[in-house]
Amino acid sequence: MDQSLVSSPSSTSASSETRRILPLIAGGLMGVAAIAGVTHVVTSSHSVSSSDPLTILRGSMLKTAERAVAAMKGDGLARIPVKKAESLKQIEADYGVSRSMTFGDSIKSLSEVFSGKTPLLGEAGELGEDTDAVVLHDFQNAQYYGPITVGGQEFQVIFDTGSSNLWIPSKECGKGCGTHALYDHSASKEYSEDGRKFHIEYGSGPVDGYLSTDTVSVGSVTVKASTFAEITNVKGLGLAYSMGKFDGILGLAFPSIAVEKIEPIWVTMFKEGLVKEPVFSFFLGKEDGQDGELVFGGYDKKHIASGDPEDVQWIPLESEDYWTVKLGEISIGGSSFGQGDKCIVDSGTSLLAGPTAAVGKIAKSIGAIKVPFRPLWGIQCSKKSSLPDLKVALGEFNFSLSPDEYLLEAGMGVCLLQFTAIDVPAPRGPLWILGDSFMRKYLTIFDYGNKRVGFAESSGV
């Protein structure tokens, strides 16, 4: 029996375009830096530490959120009304640049903005009665977040398919936690002490805390005695975290990469029969500021452009750590790259990513110019209409992104290529990432039971 989810409408208002770009850049760079091994881990005999950099926060750093209230309806589905963050639109006024600048001057100005303002942290069933949905909110087409509760206390978290642990900031957190919602385990009757230390070393500093156990609710699904990390020191997250209004991360990758092999909450949902199918899916709104939806237990066929579940194209997994598939190739304008490389489908990375040499050639093929000091490329937006589609082959299927979908307007007539560079040596690499830039076009279904990922062109609603 199909069920529809109803999301409350919300509005968005305009402010600075630069702030629209900065979270995307911070998120994208942080994600790929972590994957490339820029971050490192420090352990001790009493610490629980991640031994793999993809458990680190990746494209999630400048999200904003408003408080949400979950309400159960008669059909057993959770509707979570939310407010969107402001949309920001005034790069010229804020940074004293002008549309009369040359393209080269605009690229230089953007480089200065990024260098001065961006913290680089280094870093399958259809929807039915037994599914549950969480509304995802878009901050400037950069990342997506939604509400959960831990011990009855509400937090906004990034739902991240590239990591496996849940962490939230503790009441014991210092200045770096700013105005974030803080977890107070003394206020929860179901809290249970674990006490093991949790420590990750970022390129810019450490993140510390300890493990605890409490009741966690995602939408209407409640998991009792779930183990997660309380973070007490967020120095390693820097300005990106203190400026953002998201609170934590909920990992949706496999148990094999979880710190201390703690069972991810989404796996527990399936094992305990809280959702019918071992499937979850992401619908990411195509428009700037548009809400998306994360569904546990299946997917909603209304998010498929054709409305037909037969149009879902399934790609087998290559491994059970990240959601890794085999890349056929990425091609543009007659040139092909990445044949047979590994490819991670990652909701926690805002951009697409690939090896530096290949991404540089992709950029060159469309006439994009390197942004100084950043692994990014820009092109005049006026040239978009003459550019070819970017094609992605996965398994026996072909997908594509139009110039409007692989370029991002950055202000001053400059469009940024939504690709950044990541170099991962063999045997783990070469590696490519399909982040939110790809997932916005395609409803993405993560099928744990059948070890596959499905894509279907999104309806946009």
**Quick one: which of 448, 418, 426, 453 has its CA closest to 31?**
418
**In terms of Cα–Cα distance, which of 348, 306, 335 is closest to 433?**
348
Three-class SS of residue 32? helix
DSSP assignments along 235-293, one per residue: GGGHHHHHH----EEEE-S-GGGSGGGPPPHHHHHHHTTSSSSSEEEEE--SSTT--EE
Strand 205-218 and strand 71-72: pairing? unpaired
Alpha helices in 346-409 (DSSP H): 356-365, 403-406
Radius of gyration of the chain (CA): 21
Phi/psi at 217 (nearest 5 deg)? -120, 130
Tell me phi and psi for residue 283, to 5 degrees.
-110, 120
Strand stretches in 6-117, DSSP E: 47-49, 71-72, 78-79
For residue 29, give both structure tokens. 């760079």
Token digits of residue 244: 């953002």
Do 199 and 288 form a contact (C-beta atoms < 8 A)?
Answer: no
User: Are 29 and 118 spatial neighbours (Cβ–Cβ below 8 Å)?
Assistant: yes
Torsion-angle region of 196 (φ positive above 0: left; ψ -120 to 50: alpha; else: beta): beta
Name every residue whose Cβ is closer than 8 Å to that of residue 62 and which is 6 or more positions away in sequence: 19, 22, 23, 26, 27, 139, 140, 142, 143, 240, 243, 244
**Cα–Cα distance measured from residue 84 to residue 181, given in angstroms and rounded to the nearest whole number:** 17
Instruction: Just list the catalytic residues.
Output: 160, 346
The secondary structure element, H or E, covering residue 352 is strand 352-354
Coil, helix or strand for 27? helix
* Token pair 């998010």: residue: 303
Alpha helices in 299-455 (DSSP H): 356-365, 403-406, 436-439
